[in-house]
Amino acid sequence: MKIFKNNILFLLNFYVIFQIGLSYYNPAAKQQVVDSTFYELSQYRLSTCIIAKNFSSMITSIFCYLFVEKKFKSKYKHLADFDWRFPECISKMKYKSLESLIMKLNYINVNEFYKDWILLLIVRNPIERFLSGYVDKCTLQKRIKKPSKMCLYCVSNIKCFINRLHKIMYSSIKVKKATYRGVRKHFFPQTLQCNYYKYKNKFEILKFENKYLNSFYFKLRNVLENQNVSKIHINFIDEDIRSHKINHATSDRKITGKLLYYLYKEKSLMKKLIDIYYNDFKEFNFPYPKVIIENLPNYLNFDRKSKRYGTINGINLRDMNISSIFKDLNNLNCEKEESTRLLNKIDSMNDEDFNKLTEIIELDNLKLKESIYLNRLLYYPDKIFQNKLNRQGKIFTEKQQLFLYKQLLEQQEIILKRENELLYEQLKSIEKIKSFQNNVEKLNKTSTNSY
């Protein structure tokens, strides 16, 4: 029965991956698990929902400046000086939902509200946003020496953090809601915030990206102009945001570049981030990372020839001991449930170690090789595809890559058919057993009635 159950689970999971190819299935797609924060400026019919690490401190500062200009200027010299300790502003323009905001303004519904108001949403490249949050919250001196809820109790270990965040995102909604509030606000996908899917067609979306700041500033200026904000205010805002940064800005910190470089090298981690933020990439049309070293940004000015198995920011880059894993392999019974732990351990290896391991597996241990391959094919189809390309040792055209990927899909289809056949045989066996049990029961009833 356990084998039967496992096969059903295999087929369900396999079917999803088979249908979407190199895309990524994210079960957290439309669940609302992050508290929303909406602001409104009635004078300008301007509202926004803030998402942490998406220009959130600065847009709050801008709204406060426009809301209570005199009090703001008496407290802060620049917009970047804003520190959230400003209750006379925030508490008066803050709402927990768009519904409560609309109700307070006496609108019948969101459609009526939308006719008169702008609902602004600032979004950001998911990888850039993740790194900004991680550098700000988990690499400062006061945070790196002891475990904390904000960093999921991973001390200066980005791999640990990504793995734990990935598990949370693939857990039940209860687990997500129970996750520390700071983690949800700073690291959960943007599409899970601001009731995005309900109001996606109502938002005026601005993209905040380090590479295109001038474009972002220009579009923000246009929004303010369209809402009849005075030129004096607009000029002050425009000049100030260009010349002064919030003190916890992370884009130009050296550690940000190092961690980005590490993520581009450790493809399995980058894949997990794409898993987590798949819907953000899709909804906001951000390009997926090209996970090859040659495409790294030019500003990474540090030694790229460092040893593979050293440390970066306290991260141990050699996470697996090949020989210790291999020692257990020949005794592994792949039919048993405990083999899953070892197979998952193998899957979390970096590509170089995995290739070494597969080379030394005994050729006659076909069941083991098949189990490892199936497990990897189920959860990492992109890795198998990439390995096929890498093994050829040459650059492929797009058509050649599509041909190779088509071969992989055909191979998946063969495996799926085989699993279907096995499942069909098991179902037939179960039906026979049920039929036999029914006949026995009928026979027993007949015998009882005859007495």
pLDDT in tens, 275-323: 999 999 999 999 888 764 344 444 333 333 333 333 333 333 333 344 4
Contact 313, 302 (CB under 8 A): no
* Segment among 152-156, 254-258, 411-415 with least mean pLDDT: 411-415
Q: How many residues does the chain have?
A: 451
Phi first, then psi: what are they for 401, rounded to 5°? -65, -40
Q: How many CB atoms lie within 10 A of CB 92?
A: 12
pLDDT in tens, 105-132: 999 888 899 999 999 999 999 999 999 9
Mean pLDDT is highest, among 259-268, 304-313, 389-398, for 259-268
Query: Confidence band (pLDDT; 50, 70, 90) for 7?
Result: very low
pLDDT greater than 90 at residue 160: yes
Secondary structure of 342-394 as H, E, C letters: HHHHHHCCCHHHHHHHHHHCCCCCHHHHHHHHHHHHHHCHHHHHHHHHHHHCC
Instruction: Return the closest-CA partner of residue 263 out of 128, 123, 144, 395.
Output: 128
Distance between CA 93 and CA 46 in Å, rounded?
Answer: 11
Distance between CA 396 and CA 383 in Å, rounded?
Answer: 16
Domain map (residue ranges) of the chain: 38-141+174-250, 320-376
Distance between CA 96 and CA 295 in Å, rounded?
Answer: 41
User: Hey, what's the torsion of the CAs at 17, 21, 22, 24, to 10 degrees?
Assistant: -40
Q: How many CB atoms lie within 10 A of CB 300?
A: 14
pLDDT of residue 288: 86
Mean pLDDT for the stretch of residues 175-182: 91
pTM above 0.95, yes or no: no
CB-hemisphere CA count at 13 Å for 277? 28
